[in-house]
Structure 1
Amino acid sequence: MTRMDSVTEAGDQRRNTSISGRDRLILAVLLTASFTLAVDFSILNVALPVIGAEVGFSLPDLQWIATSFALCAAGFTLLFGRVADIFGRRRLFLAGIALLGISSLVGGLATDPAVLITARVAQGLATAAVTPAALSLLTTSFPEGSLRERALGLNGALMAAGFTTGAILGGVVTDLLSWRWAFFINVAVAVAVLVVAPAVLRENRTEQRPRLDVPGAVTVSAGLLAVVYGLTSAGEHGWTDIRTWASLVAGVVLLLAFVGIERRVTEPLVPVRILRKRSVAWGNGAGVLAFATETSLVFLLTLYLQEVLGFSPLTAGLSFAVLGLGTVLGGIVGPKVIARLGNPPRALAFGMAVQTAATLVLVLLGDSRDWMPLLLVATFVGGVANLVAIVGFMVTATSGLPDHEQGLAAGLATMSQQIGITMGIPVMSAIVGATLASLGAETPTHILTAIRTAIGVNAALCAATAIAVSVFLRTPRPVTAPATGN
């Protein structure tokens, strides 16, 4: 190696491990947007009864305030991830942020159920557009390696912490100000991002503009909408309800049709060869379960804190601050765990294994507030472990692909995240409901038994994920060539 080659290589290594001032601005813009969108998934949950009383929702219709948002956020993510590749990630990011600001303003001013639901649908579409665009801008702004892993670690930490923060912030804002400020906060964030982002984000799109796969886009979006609606219906009406099974069957049929379309069209929305990559297929499957298990655990523990221990919504929300700290710490140490273990899949499996142990301990929870120290310690450890797994998932699912497919990879990863967040709660809710139905009256003792049962299933899903990743994403050891004599 020449001296010039050594200098060049050293310069490349510095660029791959150091963050410049402009890089920090890019991170600030993209992470602020990602965190805000994650908060939106849970910030209104605590406030739903108050919103229903003020705006005029009936009790059965309250869930649509959350469901309408989640359906659009999960159903259109893959489509917008591909649109970002074709028409420009920066352009789609800015358009999505503008839509978020406008829809949040409309939602905050709403006095009619139809207007509020329309605003939540628009917020879901904005989330579906911004999240994959932001993630693909992140992966293309930082070279593959330690710098990208650090950026994805911070992104994963804030995305997971955002869900927990939303539960806390929703209670604080509703009690001290008004539920409308849960919308107005987004307006201020959107304005700030739109002021800074055009100056620091570069446009990044493919030179050639392939035709958008409209049949594929329609079938996959409709299929995902049907599956998510079916899972939501299971949580509300049970697994035996005709709406649940009809929606799930329709979703599976549409997704199978989507696979058939992708095999035939010349410019598919999702090239089948990408799904043949183990890192993409198994990485995204693990990502779904990583998000589903932790977010649904927050739901189960919310029931425990309020229905069993008798905490107020605000106190219950504040109890998750320790979990939020754990997720932030996990996002920071995630890249270090990847470096220590040697590759992202091992970090993913390790994180899910530790999360299994932390979740399993919670099966011991009793009906006394004396169990709070155990809950706080276990949720903190589980939060750290979950974020290590999420960072491993993000790096696994977006590595080894060219820049022109990063929007698609980001769309798949984001779709996994959105589906995980959306499906976890109705599945665990259905388990709680079925257990209570078998026990009879909804006494605190029976509710505790139902929650323990669901927590046990949650831990089993964590363990299954860790085992599947260890088996199917095993990295072969490098083969050392035998020494040869001269």
Structure 2
Amino acid sequence: MTGNPIRILRRICSGGAKESANGFDRRLLAPMMLGSLLNPVNSSILSVSLVPIGAAFGAPPSQTAWLISALYLATSIGQPVVGRLIDLFGPRRLFLAGTALTGIAGVVGMLAPNLGVLIAARVLLGFGTCSGYPAAMYLIRSEAGRTGRESPAGVLTALAVTTQTIAVIGPSLGGLLIGIGGWRATLAVNIPLAIAGLFLGARRLPATRPSRRDSGRHPVSDLDLPGMGLFALALVCLLLFLMNPGGGHWYLPIPAVAAAAGFTWRELRARQPFIDVRVLGGNLSLLATYARALLSYVVSYAFLYGYTQWTEQGRGLSASQAGLVQLPLFATAIVVSTLTGRRQAIRGKLLVGAVGQIVACALLLLLHAHSPLWMLLAVVFVLGVPQGLNSLALQNAVFHQADAERMGSSAGLLRTFGYLGAIIASAADGAFFGQRADTGGLHHLAAFMLAVSALSLGVTVADRSLRRVGAPGVNDTTAGTELQDTGR
């Protein structure tokens, strides 16, 4: 199973033709996978284009960093908002609108005359790529309900492997595009991807009508615009603070807390809340999944950013060598996800994933400026195991734990917590490394990552409801009832 990623995806999706035999509409797979990869491909390609963009506009790293932050901000806010719209109006309209916006962002970015316009294009990309993943999770849940299959494990695995595969080829694709057409080509690539998405979405996604509620109201009347606005305000203030906690933005937590309080007050009184805090508060297992996502992605992104910087500055590798050292991380994750994807129970995956992160972080403490290459690769291989297990298990946990009628917004919130983890990781890297990514800073970062990994393991061990989530013979309704009972 370690061959061509496309062949792997085909085998996962076919599952020996079981998915097709049980009625899953395999025409949905192409738009689902394409929509889900639009966001990660734009994240990974940017990693190799920051330097040429800075050189083109005469911008220092402190300014080009906003190209990353802009995508994080837009995506963190947009994923649950667009997911909620998908819950109300179906995936087709939102998928097509988001894909079209992605294409427009590609045109704006390709023609950007200055860094400000390019940052605006990245914001458009963030919102445009928000619809793919919630739409895919919504479609998987809908097909599970239609076919009577509670857990289409093969399709869920294919969705996880798709984003991991893009993480492998994204930087290489970016380098190829820059070699062919300069950094503008990394934005222009969104144009053919958007065209393909529009074609596949229009041809294959079901044209669903917004269903009227029992009261006869049209779903548009259920849009909780004040709740969405307060949610966005709280998240913007929080994310801006986390991006630069020591940069004179000490006051931002105050409006963030105020907006969060207003959001909670609004959601408790709204007829159709954007995020039903009562239901979410009663589903402690889902909240625990979001907490695990935050913690596991703090470790993953801290490793991805911090370890890569250390291999260049602390260990003395070139940029290309540092990139090659990271490849086994994603390759191992793909293999692990592929081999374990059809095992529906998720508790074991989360336990092994948390322990694997602890082991990998402990290994970082053994590294020094003259560590042999095999030690660098050994650390990466070890972390690849939890990388593959956690991403798959967290996604599957949300699939089982979330309310089916709010699958889109619940899947979007999973991505939001993941990006929160990425931003915390970025801030931690900056705090521990300072002006240079030396070995001392790496060891301090590793100690921080160890503490976060241990906390993630503790949350997983304490969550008794995980014993039945995804277990054979347990449907989602029964599991969900037990989860809420456990949380009381």
Q: TM-score, normalised by structure 2?
A: 0.83
Q: Is the aligned partner of 1:214 residue 2:225?
A: yes
Aligned pairs (5 A) from 1:33-432: 33-142=35-144, 147-174=151-178, 177-204=181-208, 205-208=210-213, 209=219, 210-234=221-245, 238=246, 241-243=247-249, 245-272=250-277, 273-336=279-342, 338-339=343-344, 343-368=345-370, 370-432=371-433
Determine the structure 2 residue equivalent to 1:467: 458
Cα contact 2:19–2:154 (8 A) shared by 1? no
Residues 476, 18 of structure 1: alpha-carbon distance in 2 compared, 3 angstrom cutoff? closer
Cα contact 2:80–2:408 (8 A) shared by 1? no
**1:17-39 Cα shifts (integer Å, max 9, x gaps):** 42369744422321222223112
Counterpart of 1:403, as a letter, is A
Counterpart of 1:281, as a letter, is L
**1:410-466 Cα shifts (integer Å, max 9, x gaps):** 222222233233332223322323xx7xxxxx5x7xx11101211221132122112
Residues 222, 41 of structure 1: alpha-carbon distance in 2 compared, 3 angstrom cutoff? same
Cα contact 1:220–1:255 (8 A) shared by 2? yes
Residues 345, 263 of structure 1: alpha-carbon distance in 2 compared, 3 angstrom cutoff? farther
Determine the structure 1 residue equivalent to 2:11: none
Inter-partner Cα distance in structure 1 for 2:241 and 2:290: 21
Residues 257, 407 of structure 1: alpha-carbon distance in 2 compared, 3 angstrom cutoff? same
* Matched length: 444
Inter-partner Cα distance in structure 2 for 1:228 and 1:161: 28
**SS state of the match for residue 74, structure 2?**
helix
Determine the structure 2 residue equivalent to 1:483: none
**1:171-196 Cα shifts (integer Å, max 9, x gaps):** 45435652222212222221112112
Out of 439, 463, 472, which is 1:448 matched to? 439
Inter-partner Cα distance in structure 1 for 2:467 and 2:33: 34
CA shift for structure 1 position 145? 5.6
Inter-partner Cα distance in structure 2 for 1:16 and 1:218: 45
Counterpart of 1:450, as a letter, is G
Residues 356, 80 of structure 1: alpha-carbon distance in 2 compared, 3 angstrom cutoff? same
Inter-partner Cα distance in structure 2 for 1:263 and 1:451: 44
CA shift for structure 1 position 476? 6.2
CA shift for structure 1 position 140? 2.4
CA shift for structure 1 position 63? 1.2
Cα contact 2:77–2:235 (8 A) shared by 1? yes
Residues 64, 88 of structure 1: alpha-carbon distance in 2 compared, 3 angstrom cutoff? same
Inter-partner Cα distance in structure 2 for 1:413 and 1:382: 21
CA shift for structure 1 position 43? 1.9
CA shift for structure 1 position 16? 11
Cα contact 2:354–2:386 (8 A) shared by 1? yes
Determine the structure 2 residue equivalent to 1:30: 32
CA shift for structure 1 position 71? 0.9
CA shift for structure 1 position 129? 3.3
Residues 475, 95 of structure 1: alpha-carbon distance in 2 compared, 3 angstrom cutoff? closer
CA shift for structure 1 position 300? 0.8
**SS state of the match for residue 275, structure 2?**
coil
Counterpart of 1:414, as a letter, is R
CA shift for structure 1 position 15? 12
**SS state of the match for residue 129, structure 2?**
helix
Counterpart of 2:244, as a letter, is S
Residues 284, 195 of structure 1: alpha-carbon distance in 2 compared, 3 angstrom cutoff? same
Cα contact 2:332–2:384 (8 A) shared by 1? yes
Residues 355, 122 of structure 1: alpha-carbon distance in 2 compared, 3 angstrom cutoff? same
Inter-partner Cα distance in structure 2 for 1:422 and 1:136: 27
Residues 95, 287 of structure 1: alpha-carbon distance in 2 compared, 3 angstrom cutoff? same
Q: TM-score, normalised by structure 1?
A: 0.84
Residues 52, 316 of structure 1: alpha-carbon distance in 2 compared, 3 angstrom cutoff? same
Inter-partner Cα distance in structure 1 for 2:253 and 2:340: 35
CA shift for structure 1 position 263? 1.0
Counterpart of 1:226, as a letter, is C
Question: Unaligned stretches of 5+ in structure 1?
Answer: 1-13, 437-441, 479-486
Inter-partner Cα distance in structure 2 for 1:408 and 1:335: 24
**SS state of the match for residue 100, structure 1?**
helix
**SS state of the match for residue 76, structure 1?**
helix
Cα contact 2:286–2:402 (8 A) shared by 1? no
CA shift for structure 1 position 283? 0.7
Cα contact 1:280–1:398 (8 A) shared by 2? no
Inter-partner Cα distance in structure 1 for 2:94 and 2:117: 25
Counterpart of 1:214, as a letter, is L
Cα contact 2:295–2:453 (8 A) shared by 1? yes
CA shift for structure 1 position 303? 0.7
Inter-partner Cα distance in structure 2 for 1:190 and 1:94: 9
Inter-partner Cα distance in structure 2 for 1:23 and 1:365: 49
